[in-house]
Chains A and B, each alone.
Chain A
């Protein structure tokens, strides 16, 4: 009878400590998770803003001005578009 009581008390003690550590660990992890989630939401919002800004920077009128200013290129003219038939020899080489 006494031995069983001892064993029981011991296991209760061990379990309490184990449970305490487990709880502690879980709450630490949960706090970490919360921080991470907050960061993710923050990042997602930042991405939204950046995407909007990127789209705004790609405004067609702005790009046209920039292209005219910095590039020695102009919009393609119809005469510059052509379709090149692939010679039979070339397709054979590819195969």
Chain B
């Protein structure tokens, strides 16, 4: 057969042979092309199967990864307690064109969702639209019940809802979002982009336990003294971390728009107040630091100070020469004003600026108040500012400034973000370390012997300063005393770790406080309660050794006052003050 075909092939001649040759060569070319193509594909197959290719691996696994709808990141406290999270919910909507009987559908839906108005719902369902929301964020039970109604044209859509498990406890810090999960205020607003972009939880410096203690103590005091509001803050003096930030009244974050502006207002960061005598701490610190006066020095506080039409008087008038420690302990306005005059306006401004009291505070919240400073800064301003009038700062600025006074003189911006353990942010040395140590001793003296006795805690050495400031009203100060009473303290004062500030807005005295609503009576006990709980909570060992008291010869020793003197002696009659220079506690 082969032979015959061969012989036949041989006999082919001319045009026929040529045609066959052409087709054969074409076939060869085609098969070579195919062979090459197959070889390339096989080669690629071997390459993919045998050799590692990271890109191919990524492509292969990509199709396998779980597709999860991206949700807004959680917010945690410093111990990982959930403060804000997003939970999936169902939202029910209708396509009115698919509905069979709008009247019947509306009647049956309100049996499951009683909060929906039937007439309004009927109006929506009876429209010509193709999409109407019936209700956003319904519960799984409601979803089941609506599904069970078996109504055509009623559908569900998976939505997300922001949930704040601790409710109003952290409402001013954490803030809220709108219905489309966009930050409206608080951390939700200031970290909006971060919370949307990354699913990694955001840890705050806040501690819900401390927050709870502060809120409870403040709430009790507000009720007891019928105050209109309160503010409390706990700052770590070593790194500026805020452990608690409470502004009362607060609000339930889930109620969204139904919150009064009053409740939404953050008194700690947004509110600026004339803080009163707590400012004497700054006055004393700048006087000591600038070597204007030593601890042994003092000023004559015999007579009220008259400047232009103002009279500066003392609330606890001693009517004699007072040493620097005495001025602070008895909270003498006359003494403080004279001290400020000795320091001078320029130096006072420089120190207040360095302590961050004349500019907007830096904090990771959108609600930050701008301090009110006098312009022009007259001689009388220098005098009234010495005891905290004529300048309004936020409690946050106050606490932060005091932290710098006691921590060795380094001012660090307060922060709500949790920093790495042992990481100490850089700060600015605003007063000398020596001055800071003197300030600690003086603050301790105020609690031990002065107006701050009610802040004394058994076990921990608390130092601090009281403040009672008259609230300004249009065109002057309120006729009936409406005050801001505060106490700012640090503990343990021999090695301060925390600064605690408590402030009450318009407290009214009770029989128990002999009618007094001063910082020493209403705010100091709040700080005492906070310190007594915060110390053991942080595992802080109490100071067991007996406190070394100033001995005769020490500038902090004054024989005239017996240690047994009770806080009742704060009562002073016959104030005769007027104008912005009104006396403070």
Contacts and interface: CB of A to CB of B under 8 A. Distances in A.
Contacts of A40: 66, 68
Interface string B65-85: 011110100000000011101
Interface residues of A, number: 28
B541 A83 contact: yes
B532 interface: yes
Interface in B209-253: 209, 211-212, 216
A77 B536 contact: yes
Interface stretch (B165-173, B176-184, B265-273, B508-516): B165-173
Interface stretch (B301-309, B378-386, B452-460, B573-581): B452-460
A42 to B, nearest CB: 9
Interface in A6-47: 33, 37, 40-41, 44-45
B535 A55 contact: no
Contacts, number: 84
B87 interface: yes
A55 B174 CA distance: 15
Contacts of B66: 37, 40-41, 44
A81 B542 contact: yes
Nearest to B80: A55
B82 A79 contact: no
Contacts of B458: 78-79
B460 A78 contact: yes
A55 B81 CA distance: 7
Contact of A56 (B165, B533, B542): B165
Interface string B83-117: 10111100000000000000000000000000000
A67 interface: no
A18 to B, nearest CB: 15
Given A33-B64, A56-B165, A78 B87 contact: no
Nearest to A33: B64
A86 to B, nearest CB: 14
B81 A58 contact: yes
A82 B541 contact: yes
Given A41-B68, A78-B459, A78-B542, A49 B87 contact: yes
A81 B541 contact: yes
Contacts of B163: 52, 56
A92 to B, nearest CB: 25
Nearest to B541: A83
Given A60-B209, A61-B212, A83-B541, A52 B68 contact: no
Contacts of A59: 165-167, 169
B540 interface: yes
Interface string B510-535: 00000000000000000000001101
B539 interface: yes
Task: Give the interface residue-count category, chain B.
Answer: 35 or more
Interface string B469-511: 0000000000000000000000000000000000000000000
B165 A55 contact: yes
Contacts of A52: 82, 85, 87, 163, 165
Interface string A40-74: 11001100110111111011110010000000000
Interface in B147-165: 163, 165
A53 B163 CA distance: 10
B536 A78 contact: yes
B539 A81 contact: yes
Contacts of B340: none
Nearest to B460: A78
A61 B211 CA distance: 11
Contact of A60 (B85, B166, B460): B166
B542 A79 contact: yes
A87 interface: no
Contact of A76 (B64, B69, B87, B536): B536
Contact of B166 (A33, A55, A77): A55
B48 to A, nearest CB: 16
Nearest to A76: B536
B208 interface: yes
Nearest to B209: A60
Nearest to B67: A37
B536 A80 contact: yes
Nearest to A50: B87
A79 B460 CA distance: 9
Interface centre among B69, B83, B85, B87 (most CB of A within 10 A): B87
Contacts of B64: 33
Contacts of A53: 165
B353 to A, nearest CB: 38
Given A41-B67, A77-B532, A81-B459, 20 more contacts: A37-B66, A37-B67, A41-B69, A48-B88, A51-B82, A52-B165, A53-B165, A55-B82, A55-B166, A59-B169, A60-B166, A60-B211, A60-B212, A61-B216, A75-B536, A78-B458, A78-B459, A78-B535, A80-B536, A81-B542
25 contacts: A44-B66, A44-B68, A45-B87, A48-B85, A48-B87, A48-B88, A51-B82, A51-B85, A52-B82, A52-B85, A52-B163, A54-B82, A58-B81, A60-B166, A60-B169, A61-B216, A76-B537, A78-B458, A78-B459, A78-B535, A81-B459, A81-B536, A81-B539, A81-B542, A82-B542
Interface of B: 64, 66-69, 71, 81-83, 85-88, 163, 165-167, 169, 208-209, 211-212, 216, 457-460, 532-533, 535-537, 539-542, 544
Task: Please name the 4 residue pairs, one residue from A and one from B, whose CB atoms are nearest each other, closest first.
Answer: A78-B459, A60-B212, A55-B165, A55-B82
